[in-house]
Structures are given as C-alpha cells and as structure tokens.
C-alpha cells in the first residue's frame, strides 16, 4: 500500500513538471512587441498568433485520447514535449508571418493541448477519491509555469534578443515535458459508483453526445472560458480606458490575473471535493456576473478595477480546474480524455468569441453585458443540471420498489 502510494505521488510530481512546461505558452504576450521591433510586422498580425495557438490547443484535445490508446500515455506526452520544444526552437529561425503562425501557432498549440489533456485526465484517474484537489494541483501547475516564465522568458528576451529567447525557451520546455513524462504511468481502469448507489456508466463520446447534459455543460464551459480569456486579453486596456489608470499601473493587472488565476485553481479545486463541483461552478459564475456588471456600469477607480479583475481571474481559474472532474463525474473515468476533449472545445471557441462579440457590438461595455447575461444563464443551468445516470438509477429504483409491492400484494 505504501509503495503504491509513493508511486502515485511520483506521478503527481511528473505531471506537475509537465504541466509547468506546458503553461509557459501563456507568456506569449511578452514576445509580441519584440517581434514587431525585430521584423517590422504589424502588432495585430503578430498578436493573432496566440489565438491560433489557443484554437490549435483546444482542437488537439479531440484526437489526444485516441493517440493515447495507440501510443500509451508516456510515449504520447514525451512525443508532444519533443514536438513542442522543436516548434519553439524552429520559431527562432522564422523570417515570415506564415512561418510564425505554423510553428508557434499550429504546431506548438497542438503539442501543448495533446500533453495537457492526457496528463491531466490520467492524474485524475489515479486519484478518483480526490479528483478536485488533484485537478487543482495539475492545472495550478500549468498556471504557475506561466507565472514563473514571465520572468524567465522576459530575461531571455532582454539579454539575448527575441529569436534566441525562442531557442532557449524551446530547449527548457522540451527537457521539462519529456523529463516529466518518465515519471508518469498509465492509470489502471478505475470504476466509480454514482451518488445514488449504482455503478456509474462509462460513456463513450457517441453516448455522451446523445445526452442533453453534454450540451448544457458545453454552454457553461464556453461561458466560463470566454469571460476569463477575454479579460486576460484586454485587461491592461480596460485599466487605461475605463479606470483611467496610467499604463504602468494598468500593466500590473496582468500579473494580478496570473496570480489570482493560479490561486483560484488550487483553492476551488480542493473546495469542490467538499461542497460539490456544480456548487463551486455556480458560485464562480455568480461572482463573475457581478464583477463584469460592475466593470460595465460603475465609475471605476484603482481598488474597484483590481477587485473585479482579481475576482474574474480567480473564478476563471477555478472553473477551468473543476470542469474536468465534472465531466468525469457525469460520464465516467474510462473515456475521460476523449469526453473532456469534446467539452473542451468551449475553450477554443471561447478564446475567439469575446473578440468577435466586441468587434460586432463596439467595445468593452456591451461585451461585458453579454458575458453577464451568459453567466446568469449558465448559473441557472449549473444549479439545475443532474448527471445522466441519476435519472436512470431513480427509474430503476422506482421500478424495483413497484415490483416488490406487486409481489407482496400477490
């Protein structure tokens, strides 16, 4: 028992190392202006690279589960780490935007998403009794990697220039992800019971898509992701435009988002094991709705602006953490990577939707109004949604009681 416990925690350590390496892609904003200065490209053209990365990351999760079935978890994560590292190293040799989009966008995003979802889902399977806490540790490591490498990559850029920074970044990430993969082991198939005392069904993707719960969870996840990702992309601009802050002060909000995002992942992940996943999600959506409403309706000052930003980042981090465990609770652990990969498309679409809505409606305030409305709708869904197997279990229980009553009467 002790040896088994030690093995599980070695897998935790390996997953943390992998996730920290993967989370470094969220330092991309550091590279935008240096690339503009180095090549003379338009800032908007360079900045779109991260949207491509985010979309490729989400899209890759549709295939990661099938690749894991063929290759095994260790080989798949190791291969993804090599692909990620080489993609970044080759980015140091680019001479055109299309090369940037393919290497730093498509290849890096696809590799990152493949390793992210499989390492996370595998770790949850190893700790079915602590799914929320373990998800928080894993996803929190992803956020921590982003926070630490803001300083590391920033130092590389200032000391060696942007092209060499990509080379050093790629080498470090390759070593972290490949090295961490050697500590990871494939989880054995673990069955879990439902809350009504019957064996929980392990849904395939096709079976999951036949339930209404899959689409309702997608709506909630899309809303949670869009609210957080939109804020991350424009938080400095909000501080300057709506709160009247100077650029230096508003820039501090970028670090604030990273810190509270990571804290939310750890705290709300652990809390979900105690009070329930959907209660945590509904609470986070409620707080987000209040925060974006304040941003769009109240005259902002320094403390109000930072309080709202911190609240949205905290809730976004928590929702991202809790959702993998909700999918496991609803549809079983066996096909977790594949099932969560489908729901995770809400992340990719959410990454693009906020910008499109802002362009269509004309700015921050109407976009925040839409987000607040979606949060209210998703809040109601989160309060009322039930796992699909519970309804079946209740029907079976009622049928069993009816049969017993008939037998006694006979």
User: Average pLDDT, stretch 347-355?
Assistant: 84
Q: Which pLDDT value is given to residue 197?
A: 40
C-alpha 250: how far from its chain's center? Answer: 25
User: Looking up tokens 């938080």, which residue turns up?
Assistant: 235
Per-residue pLDDT at 388 exceeds 80? yes
Q: What is the DSSP letter of 25?
A: G
Q: How confident is the model at residue 90 (pLDDT cuts 50, 70, 90)?
A: very high
Residue 409 has pLDDT above 90, yes or no: no
Domain edges within the chain: 1-188, 191-386
| Whether the Cβ atoms of residue 103 and residue 25 lie closer than 8 Å to each other | no
**pTM of the prediction?**
0.80
Of residues 380, 365, 280, 379, the one with CA closest to residue 321: 280
Does the pLDDT value for residue 174 go beyond 80? yes
User: How far apart are the C-alpha atoms of 83 and 96, rounded to whole Å?
Assistant: 20
Per-residue pLDDT band for 196 (boundaries 50, 70, 90) equals very low
User: Does the pLDDT value for residue 192 go beyond 80?
Assistant: no
- pLDDT bin (cut points 50, 70, 90) of residue 206 is very high
386 alpha carbon, distance to own chain's centre: 23
What are the pLDDT digits (tens) for 227-267? 988 887 777 778 888 888 887 787 777 778 888 988 998 89
Q: Which of the four pLDDT bands, split at 50, 70 and 90, describes residue 200?
A: low
Q: What is the pLDDT of residue 230?
A: 85
Q: What is the pLDDT of residue 268?
A: 92
SS3 sequence of 267-284: HHHHHHHHHCHHHHHHHH
Mean pLDDT of 191-202: 53
Computed over every residue of the chain, the mean pLDDT equals 87
CA separation for the pair 391, 397 (Å, rounded): 10
Please check the confidence at residue 64 and state whether its pLDDT lies above 60: yes
Closest CA to 328 of 319, 314, 338, 315: 338
Q: Do domains 1-188 and 191-386 have the same CATH topology?
A: yes
Say whether 199 sits in a helix, a strand or coil.
strand
Q: What is the pLDDT of residues 262-292, one digit of tens each?
A: 899 889 988 998 999 999 999 999 999 999 9
N- to C-terminal Cα separation, the chain: 51
- Residue 407's pLDDT is what? 53
State which fold the 1-188 domain adopts.
Growth Hormone; Chain: A; (1.20.1250)
pLDDT reading at 394 higher than 70: no
User: Among 66-70, 98-102, 227-231, 252-256, which range has the highest average pLDDT?
Assistant: 98-102
130-146 confidence digits (pLDDT tens) = 888 888 889 889 988 98
Q: Can you give the pLDDT at residue 397? A: 45
CATH architecture, domain defined by 191-386:
Up-down Bundle (1.20)
Position 410 scores a pLDDT of 52
């Amino acid at each position: 028992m002790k040896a088994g416990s030690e093995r599980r925690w070695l897998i935790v350590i390996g997953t943390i190392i992998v996730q920290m390496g993967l989370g470094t892609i969220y330092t991309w904003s550091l590279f935008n202006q240096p690339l503009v200065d180095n090549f003379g490209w338009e800032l908007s053209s360079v900045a779109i690279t991260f949207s491509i990365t985010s979309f490729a990351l989400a899209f890759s999760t549709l295939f990661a589960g099938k690749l894991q079935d063929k290759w095994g978890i260790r080989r798949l994560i190791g291969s993804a780490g090599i692909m990620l590292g080489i993609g970044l190293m080759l980015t140091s040799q680019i001479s055109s935007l299309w090369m940037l989009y393919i290497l730093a966008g498509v290849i890096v995003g696809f590799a990152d998403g493949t390793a992210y979802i499989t390492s996370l889902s595998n770790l949850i399977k190893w700790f079915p009794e602590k799914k929320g806490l373990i998800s928080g540790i894993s996803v929190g490591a992803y956020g921590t990697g982003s926070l630490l490498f803001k300083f590391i990559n920033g130092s590389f850029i200032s000391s060696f220039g942007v092209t060499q920074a990509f080379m050093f970044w790629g080498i470090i990430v390759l070593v972290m992800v490949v090295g961490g993969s050697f500590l990871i082991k494939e989880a054995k198939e673990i069955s879990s019971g439902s809350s009504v005392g019957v064996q929980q069904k392990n849904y395939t993707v096709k079976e999951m898509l036949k339930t209404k719960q899959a689409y309702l969870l997608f709506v909630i996840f899309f809303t949670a992701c869009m609210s957080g990702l939109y804020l991350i992309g424009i938080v400095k601009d909000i501080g300057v435009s709506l709160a009247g802050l100077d650029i230096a002060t508003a820039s501090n909000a970028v670090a604030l988002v990273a810190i509270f995002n990571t804290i939310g992942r750890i705290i709300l992940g652990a809390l979900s094991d105690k009070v329930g996943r959907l209660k945590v999600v509904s609470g986070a959506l409620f707080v987000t709705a209040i925060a974006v409403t304040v941003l769009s309706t109240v005259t902002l000052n320094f403390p109000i602006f930072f309080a709202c930003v911190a609240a949205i980042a905290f809730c976004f981090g928590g929702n991202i953490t809790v959702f993998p465990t909700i999918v496991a609770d609803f549809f079983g652990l066996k096909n977790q990577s594949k099932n969560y990969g489908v729901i995770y498309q809400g992340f990719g679409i959410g990454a693009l939707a906020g910008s499109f809505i802002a362009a269509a409606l004309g700015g921050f305030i109407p976009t925040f109004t839409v987000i607040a409305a979606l949060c209210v709708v998703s809040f109601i869904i989160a309060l009322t949604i039930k796992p699909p197997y519970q309804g079946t279990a209740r029907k079976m229980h009622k049928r069993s009681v009816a049969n017993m009553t008939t037998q006694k009467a006979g």
